[in-house]
Structure 1
């Protein structure tokens, strides 16, 4: 059974029934929905005041600070402008400690399957098709988002990712998650670059995001192959997408990198100083 938490401006949850209209969820309210009644699993959902059955989904993925609510707040003006329903999954640290790689072992729950279940339920609740959506992720969420796009390109209209710590490269000789060669724990993930390279892709990283902090993945191989910090690694990944697109003769690819002014690794500063939200939605609707 679906339950919800409507969250006020002070981030204090108020448990109450889901507010519905004839077309689904009440517009203009941020609601926390439990997935299939499981209190450990859920997502924030926002339906714009400009709601209709023609609304599209915008899905935003938090980093390890798990600030999913802040993501929704930041993107509400754009949801209203473009008639988009916001879905912000919450990856519990207890249940999904390694959500960035879509799970780690055969016994650990796969986060891509959890994510798909959230999208399906959100679409039903909002009364719209959830087959395809616009996707954004920040930091750890950017890691999940770009790997999801590579595994499920048929579902992603366009993607923007902010400041991922490291990337899965479109290299068939490197085993996942470093590359797209099949790995033992992810045998059912089939990566087809001729499909995912057609997805318009934008990477955004703050110009000051050059610290090798404790959250950044570090190893000799990653440092040599991808770069020493998030700024270098984001550029290297976009270059790799463009190089692979040319090799495969994909001329319709749109892969771009933007350096955000006055911004470090803070999501909030990337939004307020770097203009990240404007750039994300400009990217979504320019192709």
Structure 2
């Protein structure tokens, strides 16, 4: 049976996530690959999660959908005005915390999809953390993200 698990980041509970684990056809414990879905400025994480549940089930991969609240509108730019706070690092910390509870999810390398502002985040995340990416998908980013921007 598939399961949805809500969670929040211990460093700042305003940053939350939903983890979706598909039902497994096997009784053997499976290490699920992961697809991370990054929302746009509309922050429609529930709709995004629902749109990808069939993909999750067909490909036997877990879905991780972080929520970056409205006062943090610069996730598309990787950092706020304080350069020591970076959204790419925040995402990796959130994944590490989730993994401590959900050991059946492989976070070593993952698929990454972003839409709109989330697409811009994915561009930047890939530049900064290419070794963590299995594949990426970007929808309607608004503009191309060039290295150094």
Scaled by the length of structure 1, the TM-score of the pair is: 0.48
Q: Is the 8 A contact 1:112 1:148 kept in 2?
A: yes
Q: Distance in 1 between matches of 2:129 and 2:47?
A: 26
Q: Distance in 2 between matches of 1:86 and 1:61?
A: 11
Q: Pick the aligned partner of 1:156 from 117, 133, 137.
A: 133
Q: Distance in 2 between matches of 1:99 and 1:167?
A: 15
Q: Does 1:102 align with 2:91?
A: no
Q: Is the 8 A contact 1:61 1:138 kept in 2?
A: yes
Q: Distance in 2 between matches of 1:166 and 1:132?
A: 26
Deviation at 1:167, TM superposition (A): 2.0
Q: Pick the aligned partner of 2:89 from 110, 113, 116.
A: 113
Task: Give 1:44's aligned residue.
Answer: 18
Q: Distance in 1 between matches of 2:51 and 2:139?
A: 14
Q: Is the 8 A contact 1:137 1:143 kept in 2?
A: yes
Q: Does 1:80 align with 2:57?
A: yes
Task: Give 1:122's aligned residue.
Answer: 98
Q: Pick the aligned partner of 2:109 from 122, 129, 132.
A: 132
SS at match of 1:40: coil
Task: Give 2:69's aligned residue.
Answer: 92
Q: Distance in 1 between matches of 2:56 and 2:106?
A: 16
How much is the aligned-residue C-alpha RMSD, in angstroms?
1.8
Largest Rg, 1 or 2: 1
Q: Is the 8 A contact 2:24 2:30 kept in 1?
A: no
Q: Is the 8 A contact 1:99 1:144 kept in 2?
A: yes
Segments of 5+ residues of structure 1 without an aligned counterpart are 1-26, 171-175, 178-287
Deviation at 1:37, TM superposition (A): 7.2
Deviation at 1:129, TM superposition (A): 2.8
Q: Distance in 2 between matches of 1:165 and 1:41?
A: 24
Q: Distance in 2 between matches of 1:140 and 1:87?
A: 17
Larger RCO (CA under 8 A, 6+ residues apart): 2
Q: Does 1:31 align with 2:8?
A: no
Q: Distance in 2 between matches of 1:59 and 1:124?
A: 17
Q: Distance in 1 between matches of 2:36 and 2:6?
A: 14
SS at match of 2:57: helix
Scaled by the length of structure 2, the TM-score of the pair is: 0.88
